[in-house]
Amino acid sequence: MRDRWVSVRVTGDFACFTRPENKVERVSYPIMTPSAARGILEAVFWHPQFTWAIREIHAMTPVRTYSILRNEVNSKMSPDRKEPFFVDDDRTQRHAVCLRDVDYAIFADIEVKPGVGDDHAKFRDQFRRRVERGQCYHRPALGCREFAAEFQPHDGCKPIEWTDDLGLMLWDLSYESGRAPYWPKFFNAKVNGGVMAVPSSPLGSEA
């Protein structure tokens, strides 16, 4: 099955893969989450006939953290809001623990939707060409939109020597109805030799 996987190397100066259990202050996981990896791949190549299944995430550099204060707003603007919304009157400072100088290799598989046919090879080739050319539909981000990511073909570089049990990690968000409310799904994350294997289904799933 590994011969059907695609890979991409992603780097950036800063990253923040927020733990959902922290409601106010942002605290990052020590490694990229599968949902963040899927968002990066979709930024490079998205197609309505398939979905990305993240298989492995490789850490290429040691974990480095730093703390910052970020300006955020307390409430959200929505189409149902009738009164004006002035950001300056609703801004607050929140503490965040983020990552710096990150470097990852993402390995993923293509899951073609029913009725489409076996177009895995075609989609893989399209993705690889876009990565080689540096093409993307929108700029990929490392958790937060302001933390832009650079991407390039994976050159076969080996991950770092890092083994750890990270406990529960966000697998993805479930939108059963296609819209909010949503709820998080988790998996038991372990890093072995710098490689975090991602299960095909989260905890509590019979898939």
- Identify the pLDDT of residue 94: 84
Question: Looking at the domain covering 2-72+87-197, what would its CATH class be?
Answer: alpha beta
Q: Is the pLDDT of residue 172 over 50?
A: yes
Cβ proximity of 155 and 34 under 8 Å: no
- State the DSSP string of the chain: -GGG-EEEEEEEEEE--B-TT-SSSEEB-SS--HHHHHHHHHHH---TTEEEEEEEEEE-S---EEEEEEEEESS---TT--S---GGGSEEEEEEEEEEEEEEEEEEEEEEPTTS-S-HHHHHHHHHHHHHHT--SS--EESEEEEE-EEE----PPPPS--EEEEEEEEEEE-TTSSS--EEEEEEEEEETTEEE--SS-TT---
The band of 73, judged by pLDDT with boundaries at 50, 70 and 90, is confident
The band of 173, judged by pLDDT with boundaries at 50, 70 and 90, is confident
CA atoms within 13 A on the CB side of 206: 0
Residue range 8-27: average pLDDT?
Answer: 90
More confident residue, 152 or 204: 152
- Identify the pLDDT of residue 207: 46
Residue range 105-110: average pLDDT?
Answer: 96
Q: Is the pLDDT of residue 178 over 50?
A: yes
Chain centroid, CA 49 distance in Å: 20
- Identify the pLDDT of residue 70: 80
Residue range 100-108: average pLDDT?
Answer: 97
